[in-house]
Amino acid sequence: MVDLAARRAVDQELTRERILDAARELFVTHGYRNVSMRQIARELGYSHGSIYYHFENKAELFYALLSEGFALLSQRFHEIMRCEERTPKVKLEDILLGFIEFGLTHQSHYEIMFLIKDEEVRSCLRQEPNESYEQFASAVYTLSGEKADISRIWSVFLSLHGFVSHYYKTEQTFSDVESAAKAHVRFLLGILQ
């Protein structure tokens, strides 16, 4: 028979993932500047010292959230590019639609990655945004048969970001706007031809 007290202790173990989940929601709700390590610890029911065991400071915690979000987006792009049974044209459509789907499926991640405005946060933005855009641009350039120039790729990226930002504010999910997203992607494919 499993000791229930031991099981409860394991269920309540403070992990990096639990800290990141709580911090993400607090940052999205209250903004980076208005959230403290003490507040995150209080949300989790722990002392603030226990959070410092996992993260040196709030900036390091925020950077971990950024890294996690960009890693998820990068993973999505890699999955699409590795799919050998799809044609380049279908992969290109999947990359564009995949960006929208990521943004509306992982709204808290997307906000942390692209929408929080705070001077302190800018210091946390290392190379991930540039690497993510370069991965996107490289995929689009390759899949378009090297027809798309950098200005058109940038315009498409900004248009995708605008689409996600607009529907993010309405609190709609990807499934709520999937047909509009597909129509938008078809329009953007015309720009890349």
Domains belonging to the chain, first-starting first, are 12-55 (1.10.10.60), 58-192 (1.10.357.10)
Position of tokens 């940038």? 154
Mean pLDDT value of segment 179-191 = 96
Mean pLDDT value of segment 153-168 = 94
The amino acid at residue 150 is I
52 CB contacts (<8 Å, ≥6 apart)? 37
CB 70 within 8 A of CB 106: no
CB 115 within 8 A of CB 54: no
pLDDT of residue 9: 44
Structure tokens at 90: 């279908």
Could you count the other beta carbons within 10 Å of the beta carbon of residue 97? 20
With 0-12 / 13-18 / 19 or more C-beta atoms within 10 angstroms meaning exposed / middle / buried, residue 190 is: exposed
Mean pLDDT estimate for the chain:
87
Give Rg (Cα) of the chain: 19
- Report the percentage of the chain scoring pLDDT > 70: 88
Mean pLDDT value of segment 33-56 = 92
Percentage helix, strand, coil, to 5, in the chain? 75, 0, 25
Residue 33: how many CA atoms within 13 Å on its side-chain side? 6
Mean pLDDT value of segment 81-108 = 94
Rounded alpha-carbon distances, angstroms, from residue 65 to 16, 104, 115, 155, 168: 10, 17, 13, 27, 19
pTM: 0.85
Q: Per-residue DSSP letters for 1-60?
A: ---HHHHHHHHT---HHHHHHHHHHHHHHH-STT--HHHHHHHHTS-HHHHHTT-SSHHH
**pLDDT bracket for residue 124 (50, 70, 90):** low
